[in-house]
Structure 1
Amino acid sequence: MGITITVSGEAERKHAAERAVLHLSVGFEGPERDDVLEQSARLHSELSAQLGYLHSPGTGPVLEWAGEQLRVWGQRPWSQTGEQLPVVHHSAASLSATFNDFVALSRWVGEIALLDGVTVNGVDWSLSDATRHEVESAVQRDAVAAAVKKAEIYAASLGFTGVIPEAISDPGLLGDDEHPLAKMAMRTSMGAADAGGDVTTLKPEEIRVSAAVHARFSAG
């Protein structure tokens, strides 16, 4: 008499980061709206020009970049004694840039992080599209192989030789899973450097790619 074996298979691979998306913002505050606006507009223009100079879609070091429109608003703060103080004007705009050259990234961040009005918010590390697809395919195959091996071990422990695949799916799709595993997902680490901070914190993070499958086999 044969049996049915339902198992999960998981796998994970690591790969060095190939892309870094830098997030930064520019902004000032002060009592005069025009001064605040002028300072921010000038700084935003300078940084945009630098990114434009570094930008080369095919070779880098900046593959793409984008800038947010400058925003200006006023706010009347309160004193510790409960009195409303004069208006303080604020300005803010964000910039993002995708680097494929991490030496150039660290060098540029080291130059701009010390400028008044610049805040480096962080870096998202990732893979190129081609590498991501390649690693995802490999880790999916690894997950399937892990499921087959597990099923074979279960079958052998019961005295059966070999297993026959009947169904395979993403977690939760076989219909008998109370606690489905997470589906295949990219997980990226994040490093950040504040304005004036140590740019060595921009060390590339290792990208972890994981996959999970559920499979059903018969043995007999």
Structure 2
Amino acid sequence: MRETTVTVEGRFDHHRPAERGTVTLTVGFEGRDREDVVRRVVAEHGRIAGDVQHLQEEPSPAVTWWSSDRVRVWSQRPWNQDGKQLPLVHHAAVEVEVKFKDLVRLALWVEDVATRDGVSVGGITWALTEATRERLTADARDRAVHDAVAKATSYAHSLGLSDVRPVAVADPGMLGDGSAPTTPAPAMQMARAGAGAGAGGALDLKPEDITVEGRVHARFAAS
């Protein structure tokens, strides 16, 4: 009996609450006096760095990692509404990233720094730990293969065929027949930050669950 080729995509998704949150913020000032602008940025940056180092060195650290760029300084001459060029304005800024493993402490810290003069919180990226991500990715791939087998078997039975034999399995788009992923998303999606005012005016951060995807393309011979 001639074999029938069955090509399917296996899928499985894990959804897990975030385990880490990385805050991105900028300390920046502007003014007519260049030295004063730079001094204010350096002072506030030092204050933030001290806070972060304390959070990292506690007996039960809330912070796992942080980084800071060098202070950037630039100047420009703005124009008024009449088209006249105004005196030189100096700018200074530095960007800081802080990764928290204690998400409650993260919310408290962001609530504090967001009210400081010259500090702008750019956002929070939520993620899983590397160990959790790798474990869930491996499991999702395994379950995606089982899903592909189940789909191929179902198609074969619908055609009145009973024997299903695997011929090829690959990551999406790598079977060499023009197959492409049905979704362009990566294996793990980073969740965006959601923030709002909670009870008593406290900052209420509600990250979306992290999605870890398993996708596989597989070809079977059915007879």
Please tell me the TM-score bracket, short chain as reference.
over 0.9
List per-residue Cα deviations over 1:119-162 (Å, max 9, x = no partner).
01000000001100011011111211111011000110111124
Partner of 2:218: 215
List per-residue Cα deviations over 1:51-95 (Å, max 9, x = no partner).
011114995300010111111111100011110000111110010
Task: Give the partner amino acid of 2:191.
Answer: S
Q: Secondary structure at the match of 2:203?
A: helix
Give how far 1:201 is off: 4.9
Distance 1:154 1:143, change over 3 A: same
Alignment of 1:37-56 (within 5 A): 37-56=38-57
Task: Give the partner amino acid of 1:20.
Answer: G
Distance 1:184 1:38, change over 3 A: closer
Q: What is the TM-score of this pair, normalised by structure 2?
A: 0.91
Alignment of 1:111-150 (within 5 A): 111-150=112-151
Task: Give the partner amino acid of 2:30.
Answer: E
Counterpart CA distance in 2 for 1:96 and 1:184 is 23
Distance 1:90 1:184, change over 3 A: closer
Task: Give the partner amino acid of 1:191.
Answer: A
Partner of 1:187: 189
Partner of 1:103: 104
Worse-matched range after superposition: 66-75 or 122-131: 66-75
Partner of 1:203: 206
Distance 1:129 1:199, change over 3 A: farther
Distance 1:205 1:60, change over 3 A: farther
> Would the aligned equivalents of 2:172 and 2:180 in 1 still touch at CA under 8 Å?
no
Counterpart CA distance in 2 for 1:5 and 1:87 is 70
Q: Secondary structure at the match of 1:55?
A: helix
Distance 1:47 1:87, change over 3 A: same
**Alignment gaps of 5+ in structure 1:** none
Q: Over aligned residues, Cα RMSD in angstroms?
A: 2.0
Instruction: Kindly tell me the number of residue pairs found equivalent between the two proteins.
Output: 217
Partner of 2:17: 16
Counterpart CA distance in 1 for 2:146 and 2:25 is 43
Distance 1:184 1:91, change over 3 A: closer
Counterpart CA distance in 1 for 2:73 and 2:195 is 25
Counterpart CA distance in 2 for 1:80 and 1:136 is 56
Counterpart CA distance in 2 for 1:183 and 1:29 is 40
Give how far 1:205 is off: 2.4
Counterpart CA distance in 1 for 2:107 and 2:48 is 15
Give how far 1:189 is off: 1.5
Counterpart CA distance in 2 for 1:73 and 1:219 is 68
Counterpart CA distance in 2 for 1:184 and 1:108 is 31
Counterpart CA distance in 1 for 2:58 and 2:6 is 50
